[in-house]
Amino acid sequence: MTFKLVSVSRLDPIKNIEDVLLVVKKLVDEGYSISYSIVGDGKHRDVLERIVEQLHIKVSFEGYQNNPYPFLLNGDLFVLNSFSEGFSNSLIEAMFSGTPSLSTKVGAADEIIEDGINGWLINPADKEELYTKIKHIIALSEKKRREIGCRGKEVAQNYSLEKHIQQLMVLYGKN
């Protein structure tokens, strides 16, 4: 069975997709069947495509998509490997879709994710930790990954537009 990674991201060096590609290569070389879908576009796409060609790994560049949910729902693990991030909408979207999610400890990620409970966290710019964590996640049962994805979805619902409006209404005394 192929383990399917997915990222939804602007293709920019700060997103550190290069390290994800190198980890995919290492896992493939160890005999794992891995595919990686990258949803998004940007100035760094050509560089990433050249790296994929050099590594001879299975990566699909899906380009910008108005609706990333079909890609998220088809993935076994969402990966956000940024060096720096604000509040990541793509992380919330992935969690809201129920896709188990792995993120670097940047921006609000460590406020949203409890490592091993509703997703996974790693340190930024730590390729070895990224490799170890993905390998650990692959080894989990599909049931366990789904449970973590479901708990992530519960947390992500706190960040929905409806919830935000409700909180604003309470703040302004309109509720």
Q: What is the pLDDT of residues 135-150, one digit of tens each?
A: 999 999 999 999 999 9
Q: What is the pLDDT of residues 38-62, one digit of tens each?
A: 999 999 999 999 999 999 999 999 9
pTM for the full predicted model:
0.92
Of 66, 89, 88, 10, nearest to 43 (Cα)? Answer: 10
Residues of the chain with pLDDT under 70: 160-169, 174-175
Return the CATH number at 46.
3.40.50.2000
Residue 64 near residue 82, CB atoms below 8 Å: no
Length, in residues, of the chain: 175
For helices 17-29 and 127-139, the axis angle rounded to 10 degrees is 50
Number of structural domains found in the chain: 1
Give residue 130's pLDDT: 98
Q: How far apart are CA 28 and CA 18, in angstroms?
A: 15
For 66, the domain range is 3-171
